[in-house]
Structure 1
Amino acid sequence: MAIKGVLFDFSGTLFRIESSESWLRAVLTKSGVALPEPDLVRAAQQLESAGALAGGAFPTGPLPDDLAALWAVRDRTAEAHRAAYTGLSRQVRLPDPGLHDALYDRHMTPAAWQPYPDTAEVLGALRERGVAVGVVSNIGWDLRPVFRDHGVDPYVDAYVLSYEYGIQKPDTRLFALACEALGVGPRDALMVGDDRRADGGAADLGCAVYFVEHRLVTERPDGLRPVLDLLG
């Protein structure tokens, strides 16, 4: 059966977040806080290990007891998302306590994200072929400005974001909402993502699923192009 709609994950699929060091450096510069270079690099590494950068690496060790339950439902509301990530950030000592909220705010800006090299090409090709495109993301904030700023919003027909519905992947209800928004049945849809557990939940609804690798932008120049070959 020909695919009539393609659902894409956001982070690690269409876009990639900046490095932890770039993230911290940008916030320090904007805040006017000076930190010796060795201390900056060390703090960035600690933030990465803590999993404090949403869209970056997951925590490398056990979560603090007060954050473990929140982490499991972090994408259901904007409040839970901010609390979870700023809570992880606060495990790392920084010169000013206000930097933890500033770091969270930074990760929501278009400047913190970069599209993969073939994102615009693939989304544009789908639009030319008349294939509906949706973005289905576990997230705690509105990512639409990121798409607009990088010029790919015109290719997206619908955004289905977990925090707007109180449902997070792999719950099939989120994928069902996305299919409904695109006006296609699950068996006429393809889900493209990087997380086999979260994005793989679309298969339980009857969608076809294709996985890409969550890698640096420079390391994955054409990971999305095979999607065009799967349309049938």
Structure 2
Amino acid sequence: MTAVLFDFSGTLFRIESTHAWLSGALAGTGTTLSGPDLAATARALEEAGALPGGAPPARVPEELAGVWEVRDESAQLHRAAYTGLSRQVRLPDPGLHDVLYDRHMTPDAWSPYPDAAEVLGTLSERGIAVGVVSNIGWDLRPVFRAHGLDRYVDAYVLSYQHGIQKPDRRLFSTACAALGSEPGRTLMVGDDRRADGGAAALGCAVHFVDPLPVSERVSGLRPVLDLLR
């Protein structure tokens, strides 16, 4: 193997909890909710699937079904899909739906998995090229920079910048070309068997991790290093 491609959410990083997401947005606007109301609203937002990178929607409303399917193909579609889900939940101020969306794009909303720096650093030391391939609607580079991981990444291939979503093999092909690696000598690491598994159609090897909370997955990425020996 000459290169490894990584998914972002659930693979290298994990989004904060829905409760922390809502609490942070409220604090930023000076809005308050009582303890029981805060907990109930957070649960409703989680069921709606309004937090990008969080739990998927229990049900996608019919009026959002079309945009939901292509949400990662542009920044506008991504925002429309997730604020649309958020608006299924009543909030103290309608403006909070956009505040919530904006918060999830901040570095503070994300935590790297405990072994992410170790694994990426080891790959860099071994001369293995690293790419990040993500279905996403915004630029995640600031998250990597804020957590000190950007120095290990040689290329970012983000769906919204190409108008293509995983599992479309073209997104993986773009990543391999950016790294100068042949698909047959490239490993894709992700948490979504459908989306990330699309790399196999291009000829890449694929390895899956569990998108567990950070505290519950301390060494989930380390097996990648064994696969490259």
Taking structure 1 as the reference length, what is the TM-score of the superposition? Answer: 0.98
Structure 1 unaligned spans of 5+: none
Q: Check if 1:166 corresponds to 2:144.
A: no
> Which of 2, 5, 13 pairs up with 1:4?
2
The SS at the match of 1:133 is strand
Structure 2 unaligned spans of 5+: none
Paired position in structure 1 for 2:179: 182
What's the % identity of the aligned pairs? 71
Q: Check if 1:142 corresponds to 2:157.
A: no
Could you tell me how far 1:66 is from its partner in structure 2? Answer: 1.0
The SS at the match of 2:14 is strand
Q: How many residues of Structure 1 are paired with residues of Structure 2 in the alignment?
A: 229
Could you tell me how far 1:196 is from its partner in structure 2? Answer: 0.1
Equivalent-residue separation in structure 1 for 2:110 and 2:51 (angstroms): 12
- How big is each residue's C-alpha offset from its partner over 1:165-220, in whole Å with a ceiling of 9 and x where there is no partner? 00000000000000000000000000000000000000000000000001000000
AA in 2 matched with 1:201: G
Equivalent-residue separation in structure 1 for 2:135 and 2:62 (angstroms): 23
- How big is each residue's C-alpha offset from its partner over 1:51-70, in whole Å with a ceiling of 9 and x where there is no partner? 00000000012x11110010
Q: Check if 1:118 corresponds to 2:115.
A: yes
Residues 1-232 of structure 1 correspond to what in structure 2 (within 5 A)?
3-61=1-59, 63-232=60-229
AA in 2 matched with 1:198: A
**Segments ≥4 residues shifted beyond 4 Å:** none
Could you tell me how far 1:107 is from its partner in structure 2? Answer: 0.1
Equivalent-residue separation in structure 1 for 2:159 and 2:32 (angstroms): 37
AA in 1 matched with 2:82: Y
Equivalent-residue separation in structure 2 for 1:120 and 1:36 (angstroms): 38
Equivalent-residue separation in structure 1 for 2:9 and 2:32 (angstroms): 30
Equivalent-residue separation in structure 1 for 2:162 and 2:146 (angstroms): 24
Root mean square deviation, CA, Å: 0.4
AA in 1 matched with 2:6: F
AA in 2 matched with 1:51: G
The SS at the match of 2:167 is coil
The SS at the match of 1:136 is strand
The SS at the match of 2:73 is coil
Taking structure 2 as the reference length, what is the TM-score of the superposition? Answer: 1.00
